[in-house]
Amino acid sequence: MILFGFVLSVVVGRRLSRPIHDLIQASTALDEGDLQYRFKGRRRDEVGKLMSSFNTMAEGLLQKTQVEEVFARYVPRPVAEKLLADLKEVKLGGSYGVMTGVRVGFVFAPYEIAGSARTVGMGGATVAVADEPQAALWNPAGVSFLSQNALQVGTVRLFEDTSVNGLAFAKPSSSLPSFALNLLNLKSGEFERTDPDGMRTGTFDEGNLALALTAAQALSPNWSVGANLKIVRQSLEEYSGSGLGVDLGVMGRLTRDLRLGASVLNVGGPTIKLWEKDESYATEWRGGLALAVLNGNGLVSAEMVSRKDAGTQARTGAEFWIQDLVLRVGYFIDNVSAGLGYRFINGLQFDYGMSDHELGMTHRFGLTYRFGGFHADVRANPEIFSPTGLKPVTKFLLTSHTKADARDWQLAIRDKSGMVVRSFGGQGNPPAHVLWDGKDEAGLPLPDGTYKYRLTVHDAAGRVNEAPERTVEINTSGPQGSVEVK
């Protein structure tokens, strides 16, 4: 009996001590960097569960190490360190798809990558605005609301010497669909390539080229729909791929000052294959409102953006015009943006936008040239006149081109309190010019000061063409100065 107990204790002891020895050996292997070590046997007891947990942990460590090696080889070091430090808190703001490299989908990434300077300045909240050629990337229906033909160029410098350059053109139409064309090119700087041991093996770069063709059709004077057909080509080292995608959008005017916009981007693609696996851009849903304030001199916009890989996010933005100067501000994912623009007399407009980002500041510059199309404009000549002096009247030069036949027009002149002191108007198209002698509706002279004026033209379909608000000054005091008498 004693002999049987001794044998049994030896057998049980070996059964318990061997897995403990194996666990110690496995831990030593991991400590020495051997992440391939696995327990091959199966046990149904608590020790077996411990071995299974060890195998799962070792597999996780191996995958983590492989991801780190990929990032060390293909991703700029500041970006890699930011990503791997705290994955839950990182909000890079772009549509970055992790493969065995990095994909920057600049046409379909948030506004920091593809937005115009105006879009950047307003925090990307432009789905209900979309009244410039590059805004068709976010809501193609907005092209139908454009008044003039527009040519737009823009450039931005991103991180690690990466730059994005854009060229866009839009042409509105009255009966046929309006269209726009966007061409975007992303070119990265040289990224350092390293082997799994961190040794430098050379450099590589990335390039993207995208073409978006937009068509928009007005359903009524206040509603339109539109679509983008996008062609994207991406290259990374010796690998390259291309794909097609579609965007859909709708825009409507709920009231005179309130617009609604909605779009769905990346419908059915683009899908790009650089290696063995196809990578598709995530479908993105956008919806928002834009409200004109301060008698049309200001704009406030807000929208919600939902994407599977980024959840739902809110964006807000605003702009305010002071004569020909515009100031902008925006907010998006804890990042503040701002910008400004200046409108020249010849139809040229300069815009600048800057955005705060976890990896640094981005700055975008843009030029827009508007010409022809459908518009209204008015300018006073001279801008300062004296009813009792050598220039007793000012001549308002009026121009207008409407999508449908002009129904009526009005030129309103307001004092500093906003009250209309003199107005001109009539049926059909406005005349080439109107003369003003500085008197009010009752024929009484107005006091010296600065007065605002604006031309408004309605067409037969109910559309409204408004000229920019400008100022004219009455000054009867003449030149000021002193004469020395001896």
Residue type, 58: A
Name the phi and psi angles at 145, rounded to 5.
-90, -5
The neighbour count for residue 419, using CB atoms within 10 Å, is 9
Q: H or E stretch including 482?
A: none
In DSSP notation, 389-441 reads SS---EEEEEEEE-SS-EEEEEEEEE-TTS-EEEEEEEESSPPSEEEE-SB-T
The neighbour count for residue 311, using CB atoms within 10 Å, is 8
* CB-CB contact of 141 with 156 (8 Å): no
Q: Which letter, b or e, does each residue of 2-34 get, where b requires 16 or more Cβ atoms within 10 Å of its Cβ? A: eeeeeeeeeeeeeeeeebeeeeeebeeeeeeee
Q: So what's the pLDDT on residue 15? A: 53
Closest CA relative to residue 218, chosen from 459, 484, 469: 459
Q: List the beta bridge partners of residue 262.
A: 250, 287
Show the tokens assigned to 163: 């730059």
Q: What is the pLDDT along the chain (486 residues), one digit of tens a residue?
A: 555 454 445 444 455 556 666 666 666 666 666 666 665 665 555 556 566 666 666 666 666 665 555 554 445 555 555 555 655 554 443 333 333 333 333 333 434 466 788 988 898 888 999 889 998 988 999 998 888 899 999 988 776 677 788 899 999 887 789 999 999 888 776 666 666 666 776 776 677 888 999 999 988 888 999 999 998 888 776 777 888 889 999 999 998 889 999 999 988 878 877 766 777 788 889 999 999 998 888 999 999 998 876 778 899 999 999 988 999 999 887 788 899 999 987 789 999 998 876 666 788 899 999 888 888 889 999 999 999 888 899 999 999 888 888 899 999 999 999 899 999 999 999 999 999 999 999 999 999 999 999 999 998 877 788 888 899 999 988 654 454 555
Q: How far is CA 440 from CA 369, 385, 393, 432, in A?
A: 37, 15, 13, 22
Handedness of CA 121, 123, 125, 130 (dihedral sign): positive
* CB-CB contact of 434 with 426 (8 Å): no
User: What's the CA dihedral at 76, 361, 297, 323 to 10 degrees?
Assistant: -120
* CB-CB contact of 459 with 413 (8 Å): no
* CB-CB contact of 136 with 143 (8 Å): yes
Closest CA relative to residue 319, chosen from 340, 344, 305, 337: 340
Q: So what's the pLDDT on residue 196? A: 62
Kindly report the pTM of this predicted structure: 0.64
The C-alpha angle with vertex 266 and arms to 265 and 267, in degrees rounded to 5, equals 95
* CB-CB contact of 307 with 282 (8 Å): yes
Q: So what's the pLDDT on residue 47? A: 56
Q: So what's the pLDDT on residue 97? A: 33
Q: How far is CA 302 from CA 10, 114, 299, 351, in A?
A: 76, 19, 10, 21
Domains of the chain: 103-370 (2.40.160.60), 375-474 (2.60.40.4070)
* CB-CB contact of 94 with 63 (8 Å): no
Residue 141 DSSP symbol: G
Q: List the beta bridge partners of residue 452.
A: 414, 471
Strand-pair category, 223-236 with 206-220: antiparallel
